[in-house]
Amino acid sequence: MLAVITAVRLFGPMHGFAFVAYVWFVLHSLGAGLLSRREAGRLVVAAFFPGAGFLTARFLTHRITETRERGARG
């Protein structure tokens, strides 16, 4: 039980910092015009559901591919 308590004390703050950094990056991308409000909202909501990161990665990969294709066309 002591190992679990130690792990929580060690990784809890790191997990919290990672979450705050993630939200900051999403908001920064929204402010820079890289994401729409809907996309930013989707990313933030997905952060609260286990496993949603896999769907988010797929979404972002698709979005990046579309953006590159549009840029290549003109």
pLDDT surpassing 80 at residue 74? no
Domain count, the chain: 1
| Residue 25 belongs to a domain | yes
| Residue 45 belongs to a domain | yes
| Residue 8 belongs to a domain | no
| Residue 12 belongs to a domain | no
Instruction: Categorize the per-residue pLDDT at 56 as very low, low, confident or very high, splitting at 50, 70 and 90.
Output: confident
Segments forming the whole domain that contains residue 49: 21-73
| Residue 61 belongs to a domain | yes
Q: What is the pLDDT of residue 21?
A: 96
Q: Which residues contact 63 (CB under 8 A, 6 or more apart)?
A: 39
Picking from 36, 41, 44, 32, the residue whose alpha carbon sits closest to that of residue 63 is 36
| Residue 2 belongs to a domain | no
